[in-house]
Chain A
Amino acid sequence: MSSGPVSTPTQTQTAEDRFAVATQWQLTWWRFRKHKLAVASGIIVIAFYVVVLLADFLAYADPHATDSKRSHIPPQEIHFFDDGAFKPYVYGLTQKRDLRTFKLSYQPTLDRKVYLTLFAEGYSYHFLGLFPTNKHLVGLVDAKPEDGIFLLGTDLVGRDLWSRIMVATRISLTIGLAGVTVSLFLGILLGGMSAVYGGIVDTIIQRVIEILRSMPTIPLWMGLAAALPNSWSVIQVYFAITIIISFLGWTDLARVVRGKFLALRSEDFVTAAELAGASQYRIIFTHMLPSFLSHIIAATSLALPAMIISETSLSFLGLGLRPPAISWGILLQDAQNIETLALAPWLLTAAVPVILVILAFNFLGDGLRDAADPYG
């Protein structure tokens, strides 16, 4: 009866059956799974959020500890094999005096090996913010106080860049999430209102969106962010920046919500629900919401990278988060001028996670957007 290949009629049959009875989420997942790049990006994004959870554990040096003698140490290789056996080590540091500047500094010496160990003890922190501990993924055994791992080198005041990037990931990625949550709330509320009430409400909300979209955002953010009082704590600034960023970021989400809402309202199943006497509330939440939830998720994952770029740009300018907070933007601020870059080019590695996570979110969002419409 079906036109499937003659050799495997039963298999085709079952595949079709499975397709016919699959729920929308299953279909979405099947479609998404086909998009290899999106799946890979999804894994990268998850990995980044694992870093968010385990930041302090993955760091091996106190990200705030300064040491002028460790200033601008270039990245040091970790040697994995010692005499043919797997025994990772780094070279120890010795104190040297620069004969031109008379400055004391530490430099790696090739005659002393310091071995690495897993689950080493280091600076104390609260694991997941709850359990006090001092265990870190890697650390040194029998090291002198001046020794250290310098996977990505150190900055001007001797803070370890790898550890700082780990901890910065926490702030940069959660500020994106927090910002997107606020944007999502505004977007769903205003986009939904626009679609449900129509008429004058719709007109006003749409005009506001158009006005917001035609403004140059960075100068506005800068103006608003610069006004945050200097006395505010890191947490207060964090939330203020989140609100400033999401304040201009909700418009895209509102458009998606409104568009989907209007498209769905004329669908047969909504009319059927209306005729069956379902309340407006029930129609929206049990009938319409599940069908455009996937679109909202896709739009959200496309909005996140914009949030991350915004925070990074603002902090880069010195108007966003301020030290002692650590975010990607703050790390990049150190790499701002050509003099520093010429001296310590490894400071630019702080750009790598930014680019990686933004790319990953973009591919993931693209894949989700394609998968969100599994019947298309």
Chain B
Amino acid sequence: MLAYIARRAVLAILTMAAISVFAFIIIQLPPGDFVDAYIANLSASGSSVSMEEAKSLRALYGLDQPVYVQYMKWMSRVLVGDFGESMEWHRPVAEVIGDRLWLTIVLSLAALLLTWGIALPIGIYSAVRQYSALDYIFTSISFIGLAVPNFLLALVIMYFSFVLFGANVGGLFSSEFDLAPWSLAKVWDLVKHLPLPAVILALAGTAQLIRIMRANLLDELRKPYVVTARAKGMPEARVIWKYPVRAALNPFASTIAYLFPYLVSGSIIISLVLSLPTVGPLLLKALIAQDMFLAGTIVLLLGVMTVIGTFISDLVLMWVDPRIRFQMD
């Protein structure tokens, strides 16, 4: 069991390292180094930077040294929580990102819980009542969910809510709570706004999970042990819930590791459509303005969050599924 956790942990750390390299590449990609961009940015706003300052800035970021040294310097600062300064906002990156990172995670987690909450009962129902009217309805809906990119869904829902209710459904807070400090009332306001974006985000993943759950459970239900249980007169509900559902859940749980990154990805793009205060709109603005420290940091933090989320879901999976717990090499 420890070996399993250790292996997962090593992989998680490797993934984070890979993500940090990607984030660094993204920071490095625009032509010229970021001190050039910084100077251009400052002179555009009227102030200027002396050669001395530019030189000291370059030394600070290690720009006169080879790339891997620059990477190490950047990493060593990132590890102590110093993500550099946002050129566009003239404030530390960590401050600019602020609550947005947490809101992204809250939104993705809500979507994840919703995905399970919807997919599990529907998947079981569709398998047990295979080819029933509701099975066909659920299957078609899930195919549509699979085919409609979630930003399109967000657009369509936004349009219809505007036409039907005259309301703009965007945002995660009512206007009076937008800039207010955190309080219980604000949290409650968030809870009230969360369902719609979470449903939009969850739909595509739900479709996939329903199909997986249905297929798995159908496989299990055809196995001889189920027939035996029925033949011995076990009540139908018990026949289904006691073993086949639990066995079918296993591959279901392992897809979570891939679902979470997918949801985080999706949250970026629907946040833009619904103007949610997550890191999505911030990332797009940063990339367009070539505010590279901000953009790179967002990519890095999102990646790291995803990896941690995946790692936790691995641990949960191990706790749920005895077969993983006992099959330790």
Residue ranges of A at the interface with B (Cβ–Cβ < 8 Å)? 207, 210-211, 213-220, 222-224, 226-227, 229, 305, 309, 312-313, 316-319, 332, 335-336, 338, 341-342, 345, 348, 351, 354-355, 358-359, 362-363
Contact = CB atoms under 8 A, between A and B. Distances in A.
26 contacts: A211-B14, A214-B306, A214-B310, A215-B306, A216-B261, A216-B265, A218-B265, A218-B269, A219-B299, A220-B26, A220-B299, A223-B23, A223-B29, A223-B287, A224-B26, A226-B287, A227-B26, A305-B147, A309-B149, A318-B288, A342-B163, A351-B156, A354-B152, A355-B148, A359-B144, A359-B146
A209 to B, nearest CB: 11
A53 B258 CA distance: 37
Given A223-B22, A223-B296, A345-B159, A355 B310 contact: no
Contacts of A363: 143
Interface string B272-302: 1100000000011001101000011011001
Q: Which one of A210, A223, A341 has the greatest number of beta carbons of chain B within 10 Å?
A: A223
A93 B276 CA distance: 42
B22 A220 contact: yes
A362 B306 CA distance: 27
B261 A213 contact: yes
A355 B152 contact: yes
A88 B117 CA distance: 53
B19 interface: yes
A72 to B, nearest CB: 16
Nearest to B148: A355
Interface residues of B, number: 52
Given A218-B269, A219-B268, A226-B295, A338 B144 contact: no
A313 B149 contact: yes
A354 B296 CA distance: 31
Contacts, number: 131
B203 interface: no
Contact of B302 (A216, A335, A362): A216
B258 A317 contact: no
B307 to A, nearest CB: 6
Given A224-B29, A317-B284, A332-B152, A211 B11 contact: yes
A319 B162 contact: no
B261 A217 contact: yes
A211 B17 CA distance: 10
A319 B295 CA distance: 14
Given A214-B257, A312-B149, A354-B152, A348 B268 contact: no
Contacts of A355: 144, 147-148, 152
Nearest to B168: A338
B266 A218 contact: yes
A68 B329 CA distance: 70
B147 A359 contact: yes
B264 interface: yes
A215 to B, nearest CB: 6
Contacts of A309: 149
